[in-house]
Chains A and B, each alone.
Chain A
Amino acid sequence: MIQQVTEKIKQWCPQAEVETAGETVVSVPADKLEDVCRKLHDDTDEPMDYMRDLVGVDHGEGVLGVYYLLESTRTGGRVMLRAEAKGGEENPLLPSVCRIWKTAEIKEREAFDFFGIRFTGHPDMRRLFLREDWKGYPLRKDYDMDSNPLELTSEVNADVTEEFNLRPDGTLERRENVVFNPDDFVVNIGPQHPSTHGALRMRTSLEGETVKHIDPVLGYIHRGIEKMNESLTYPQTLAFTDRLDYLSAHQNRHALCMCIEQAAGIEVTERVQYIRTIMDELQRIASHLLFYSCLVMDMGALTPFFYGFREREMILDIFEETTGGRLIQNYNVIGGVQADIHPTFVQKVKEFTKHMREIIHEYHEIFTGSVIARNRLKQMGLLSREDAISLATTGGTGRASGWANDVRKHHPYALYDKVDFKEIVYTHGDSWDRYMVRMDEILESCAIIDQLIDNIPEGEFRVKVKPVLKLPEGVFTASVESSRGEFGVFLVSRGDKSPYRLHYRSTGLPLVHAMDTVCRGNKIADLIAIGGTLDFVIPDIDR
């Protein structure tokens, strides 16, 4: 399949080169990039309409590059492109693809923030995570780590932004675009706001009560994980994954372990696959329960909050017995899991799924059926299927808009091709459907667990792996379905004991980016409820 795509690209652009170290990457010259992307997107047999990720890499010696990870929602085929920025270190330039995939709007800003690559034609070239007065680009290899001291005053956020376009003679034209007009009524929400689920800030302009535009200001919990990864050994990098989206701790770590195992050619035992899959699903239930608790609390109901936490504590107990951690478990390791399951694990999990099935009607009775919930969720915050794909809002949010995007179904890993489960898809794309997707998924996860729990085979829970691991040269990726979408790992190895670049696909970044599209035209009072149903976790966005 991948051959067909590369053949096609070669036809359109004969200079394209195919690199096969690790995964197949098609490298395209910068001036042909937009053209190739457009053709891939508009292809009739296999339209690459979903941009999974856009990752910047500093190749060293002044060469900055960007990887484009594309997927077709029709066939599930994937392809990875690479382009090198023109203009060297001083003035790296690449054409923007944000008119083809909307999600590139925010991803290109990330690449600009970290690497200083400017995308021509992008309407909003501002920094994304770092302070607007930050000096330097931290993910470049020659970045001086002490170049910016701690300031105790906030910078002023500019109301205008820049756009750069290439003139035919090769010179650069700078244009100023307006984010907010002086007479816009702008309400600042966050970063210290109880309902933004972390340190998120949204500058929101209003027309009366109606939301006109949302400008998310991110980076209040940016921790520089991707930079730190580059100076850690592979087993050390695992610890950060739990702390990204801590409600998907198992799944995130699963993805990284899978990626490293694949690259190093380590085969894990059947027992490990069982344990990992069960843990992933337990984690998903715990996360969805917290989603429920938070959503209802944001909407002003307190009692259901206690319901959600009551069952969630049961899962945390199960986690704790086996892994020693409640919220952050540090359980998956390269080659297996940290410790074997607790003797009572099987019995407790079985008790839990049974209990969950019997009790979920309480959740629906107290909240789902209520008039307030219906009025505040139905037909609110509409997101069409096209927008969902273009904005790359994976997970429950995409599935509520009719986009079947479950990685477990379409690119199965671990044991997901052996179990029988439904992919929950709704079609209206409103807050209500986003809520229902998650509630239904709780039961689906119970079903998956039930199929596995009695059959955990005997075997090693961990294969021996050298503590200092060297991966072969190349590009490696892995993706899993985390509690709130596709979590991806992108790893560039140069054969060392630490990664050359290790990037994570944030599940939440596209969701926050979608806030503008989803909330526009809705009342400000519904903004929090809509944000609640999108279900993002901020540390995972900021990384």
Chain B
Amino acid sequence: MEMKHRKLPTTKDMRPEEFKNNDYLLRMAEELNRDGAGIVLGTLDDLINWGRSNSVWSLALGTSCCAIEFMALGAARYDMARFGFEVTRNSPRQADLLMVLGTINYRMAPVLKRLYDQMAEPKYVIAVGGCTISGGPFRKSYYVVNGIDKIVPVDVYIPGCPPRPEALFYGMMQLQRKIKMERFLGKRDRNEVPQGLMENKEEKA
């Protein structure tokens, strides 16, 4: 007898069959590397990146609600240690990743910028929750920054209010993929000045 499939849930935004895990990116990078990269450096890169991507130390800048879901990630049920994320550092000097968890407002913005500047390269930023992406529910407020990408460059956005722990994992694993694809020995290509800021400056001038 044929097994009946469970009906897939229907959502307004994205259908489950459209969901891509983005692992094709890794395969693509592998292919490219096979042809182009030097054997010694390329292999060394792979090794280093394997290590880097599985031991991302984060600076958790938890200002509000989203931070509590991040705490749940650290506890036994979700256990982010499985992916090498369990070490959170409270000093920017020791962190690879800036997790921005929660609303960033006009008073906090300089602090966020400063923390980012204090981190050593290579560094990454994950924007967690609607607030950090666009201002979220507080978009119309006089005091809330409408998206932290106006202040620092962002590598991965995790939408939600707050995102579920699974969503956080998914986002963090996307970052791992990103790290794995990078060339560590050599120049990194990063946009140091975020676009929004440039625009602001021009406007002022």
Contacts and interface: CB of A to CB of B under 8 A. Distances in A.
A206 B138 CA distance: 38
Interface string A310-336: 100100100000000011100000000
Contacts of A198: 62-64, 67, 102
Contacts of B72: 309, 313, 316, 326
B109 interface: yes
Contacts of B102: 198-199, 221, 539
Contacts of A239: 137
Given A194-B90, A223-B141, A306-B75, 20 more contacts: A129-B107, A131-B106, A131-B107, A148-B142, A153-B110, A154-B107, A193-B90, A198-B63, A199-B111, A219-B105, A220-B63, A222-B105, A223-B144, A239-B137, A290-B68, A309-B76, A313-B75, A316-B72, A327-B162, A538-B63
A336 to B, nearest CB: 22
Nearest to A320: B164
Interface string B71-115: 110011100000000001010000000000011011111110111
Contacts of B145: 150
A145 B144 CA distance: 12
A221 B138 contact: no
A222 B114 CA distance: 19
Q: Secondary structure of the A side of the interface?
A: loop
A140 to B, nearest CB: 12
Contacts of A223: 103, 105, 138, 141, 143-144
Contact of B103 (A151, A192, A539): A539
Q: How large is the interface on B (under 10, 10 to 19, 20 to 34, 35 or more residues)?
A: 35 or more
A92 to B, nearest CB: 20
A247 B68 contact: yes
Interface string B132-156: 0000011011111100001100000
A310 B111 contact: no
Contacts of B200: 149-150
From B107, B138, B150, B151, residue with most partner A Cβ within 10 Å = B107
A192 B100 CA distance: 11
- In the complex, the 9 A-B pairs of residues with the closest C-beta atoms, listed nearest first: A309-B75, A224-B141, A246-B65, A154-B110, A199-B63, A539-B64, A224-B143, A223-B138, A194-B90
A152 interface: yes
Interface of B: 60-65, 67-69, 71-72, 75-77, 88, 90, 102-103, 105-111, 113-115, 137-138, 140-145, 150-151, 161-162, 164, 197, 200
A223 B107 CA distance: 10
From A131, A224, A231, A306, residue with most partner B Cβ within 10 Å = A224
B138 A313 contact: no
A505 interface: no
A221 B141 contact: no
A222 B111 CA distance: 14
A538 B62 CA distance: 11
B81 to A, nearest CB: 12
Contacts of A220: 63, 105, 107-108, 111
A162 to B, nearest CB: 21
Contacts of B144: 223-224
A151 B106 contact: yes
Contacts of B106: 131, 148, 150-151
Contacts of B113: 152
Nearest to A302: B74
A538 to B, nearest CB: 7
A224 B109 contact: no
A68 interface: no
Contacts of A538: 63-64
Given A223-B105, A327-B65, A327-B69, A191 B111 contact: yes
A145 B146 CA distance: 14
Contact of B65 (A152, A231, A328): A328
Contacts of A143: 142
Contacts of A191: 108, 111
A214 B102 CA distance: 26
A138 interface: yes
A225 interface: yes
Contacts of A138: 142-143
A413 interface: no
A247 to B, nearest CB: 7
Interface in A86-110: none
A253 B31 CA distance: 54
